[in-house]
Amino acid sequence: MFDVLMKDTNTMPPADAYRNETIDLQQKLARVQSLLEAARRVHSTIRLDEVLSGVLEIAAKELEADGAFFVSVSPELQARTSVYGEVPDDWSRWTEAAEIPGYSGAVVPGERVETLAHLVIYRREPLSLEEADFLEGLALQSALAIGNAQHHEKSIEWERVKLDLDAARAIQRSLLPHSVPDIPGYSLSFRSTTCYEVGGDYVDAVLLPGGKMMIVLADVAGKGFASAMISTTFRSSFRAMAGAGLPLHEMAARMNNLHWQEGLEARRRYVTAILMCLDPTNHTVEAVNCGHNPAFVVSGLERWRIGASGPPLGMLPDRTYEIERFPTPEGSQVLLYTDGLTEVFYEDEEFGEDRLMALMHDSPAPDLLDRMWQELHRYSRGARQTDDMTALYLCRAELKGDGA
Amino acid sequence: MIIQQHTSGTIEILTMAGRLTLGEGCSALREAVRQLVDRKADLLVDLSGVNYIDSAGLGELVASFNTITAAGREMKLLRPAKRVDSMLHMTRLYSTFEIFEEEATALKGFKAR
């Protein structure tokens, strides 16, 4: 290349100044044209492997080099490229500082790093100034093309991850109770919203053969995909044990040890939960709180909270839990919720338990959860949700009629 | 999350400040505990400067406790700030840890080695 540049302009008579200028312009034009052509070829693909091999081929051919290669700070990028042509065996030891004769390199800048790689050619004769300029220009063009190709790969990968997450979300939604068990005289409702595609909150209600109803509301530590996976295994052990007729405190102790035995990573993703069993024949509720936010009970003019009797499930081995029993006369209400509700913030102030409990009136209100979500949205001034939010509301209808 | 460390005999005193949450706070504590176990030291964690803790932070505290007790050493807590204190109460983990208000009393609580 550049044969037009090789003429020795110094020997020309000064009268030929006009001709010199013309040659100089021709040289510049040739340089720009060859770089433009190289750029066109480099940008003709968005496949990273083709970009990398294409750049090396252009560099070696245009500069009449024996071979060309990239040396990158990124092991992923280095793994994607190989040597083009013939280079000495020690090529991989090339560094900018080493200045080994025969090698010429140019910086390929990165988007977040000053130097993503060096584009290096091997040729016994040193490069002329124009050739060095060309190599530098080609390295800059390859930086753009590598960036584009990497973005393209990431967007394809992201599409795949998104499809996976969509499928996971569909599965998780399908694991929520499809219909709320119908128990005459009682009303049960729940609501759950995740802050990411999938979440670590879990709510379930299972009607047992004898007519009792097992209820659970749980919150896996953390959020997102890992917590969602744990919540699915938690669901399996809850469902397997719910029908076994175990007392609730025993069930909690077993679920605690099962989770603990899953190992270190699962222990970091421990579960806070409330297990509850409603007996609609003698109108009583049994509840066990395993390290979870206190449940709220409103019964007539009385209000109280069911606090934890033991630590969250899966954190520590061999823990014990206690059952709390209480009657559910007409008009009784129980609210279970995850901390995503109490920890809704406005500036530095969180919504908190007291505000949440105050939303429960003395009489049951079937639309309580809708009101609660509206109120939380209003409180946070519509700020983006930062945690999964789940609540379950159980109430017993009040006697209607002549006030008897 | 800022962690400062000083030693009193075989006891390492870890003073944490800031947010003990998923990411920075948790990994800082995990790394500190890993080094302590290598050095076979007991641990006193000063939580008076921890103004926010999330579920992951609480999990990390308990995981540290499990790691240190499994290595045959002791871990105690010093002056948990309001939010940490209420989390420990709510989750009934208050009884799992020995918690002290004074560093001198806490240090006396460790077994002599």
Q: What are the residues facing B98 on neighbouring strands?
A: B76
pLDDT band at A109 (very low <50, low <70, confident <90, very high): very high
pLDDT band at A3 (very low <50, low <70, confident <90, very high): very low
pTM: 0.76
Distance CA A90, CA A126 (A): 18
> What's the per-residue H, E or C state across chain B?
CEEEEEEECCEEEEEEEEEECCCHHHHHHHHHHHHHHHCCCEEEEEEEEEEEECHHHHHHHHHHHHHHHHCCCCEEEECCCHHHHHHHHHCCCCCCCEEECCHHHHHHHCCCC
Distance CA A314, CA A301 (A): 37
Contacts of B90 in chain A (CB under 8 A): 291, 293-294, 307-308
pLDDT of residue B39: 86
pLDDT exceeding 70 applies to what percent of chain A? 95
Decide: A137 and A35 in contact? Cβ < 8 Å: yes
φ and ψ of A295, to 5 deg: -75, 150
pLDDT of residue A5: 45
Chain A interface, best mutation among B62, B91, B96, B97, by max A CB count within 10 A: B91
Q: What is the dihedral of CA A361, A363, A367, A371, to 10 degrees?
A: -10
Distance CA A376, CA A345 (A): 9
Helical H segments across A110-247, by residue range: 129-175, 225-242
pLDDT along chain B (113 residues), means of 10: 87 94 86 88 95 92 94 95 95 94 94 83
Which structure tokens are listed for A32?
Answer: 């720009």
Q: Which of A268, A269, A220 is nearest to B60 (CA)?
A: A268
Burial status of residue A113 (CB atoms within 10 A of its CB: 0-12, 13-18, 19 or more): exposed
* CA A400 remoteness from chain centre: 50
Work out the minimum CA distance from A222 to partner chain B, whole angstroms.
6
**Sign of the dihedral defined by the CA atoms of residues A205, A206, A212, A218, in that order:** negative
Q: What is the pLDDT of residues A259-278, one digit of tens each?
A: 999 998 899 899 999 999 99
Three-state DSSP state, A394 = strand
Cβ contact, residue pair A308, B63, below 8 Å: no
Tell whether B2 is within 8 A of chain A (Cβ). no
Distance CA A299, CA B34 (A): 50
Three-state DSSP state, A222 = coil
Decide: A138 and A35 in contact? Cβ < 8 Å: yes
Distance CA B53, CA B49 (A): 11
Domains and CATH numbers, chain A: 3-85+98-155 (3.30.450.40), 179-396 (3.60.40.10)
Contacts of B63 in chain A (CB under 8 A): 264, 267-268
pLDDT band at A12 (very low <50, low <70, confident <90, very high): low
For the cut 50, the answer to whether the pLDDT of residue A134 exceeds it is yes
Decide: A272 and A219 in contact? Cβ < 8 Å: yes
Decide: A131 and A148 in contact? Cβ < 8 Å: no
Cβ contact, residue pair A222, B58, below 8 Å: no
Q: What is the ipTM of this complex?
A: 0.92
**A348 backbone φψ class: left, alpha, beta (φ>0; ψ -120 to 50):** alpha
Element (H, E) at A326: strand A324-327
Three-state DSSP state, A213 = strand
Please work out, in degrees rounded to the nearest 5, the angle formed at the alpha carbon of residue A269 by the alpha carbons of A341 and A180.
50
Distance CA A176, CA A167 (A): 15
Q: What is the pLDDT of residues A65-89, one digit of tens each?
A: 999 999 998 999 999 999 999 999 9
Domains and CATH numbers, chain B: 2-107 (3.30.750.24)
Please name the residues between 61 and 100 in chain B that touch chain A, using a CB distance below 8 Å.
62-63, 66, 90-93, 96
- Tokens 């706070």 -> residue: B25
Helical H segments across A43-127, by residue range: 48-62, 75-79
Cβ contact, residue pair A311, B59, below 8 Å: no
| b/e per residue A220-247 (b: at least 16 CB within 10 A) | bbbbbbbbbbbbbbbbebbeebbeeeee
For the cut 70, the answer to whether the pLDDT of residue A14 exceeds it is no
* Mean of pLDDT over chain A: 90
Cβ contact, residue pair B58, A293, below 8 Å: no
Average pLDDT on A112-133 reads: 92
Cβ contact, residue pair B90, A268, below 8 Å: no
Three-state DSSP state, A166 = helix
pLDDT of residue A401: 54
pLDDT of residue A15: 60
Chain A interface residues (partner B, CB cutoff 8 A)? 219, 221-222, 264, 267-270, 272, 291-294, 307-312, 315-316, 339
pLDDT band at A398 (very low <50, low <70, confident <90, very high): confident
Q: Which of A233, A227, A231, A193 is nearest to A340 (CA)?
A: A193
Give the type of residue at B58. Answer: L
Distance CA B14, CA B5 (A): 5
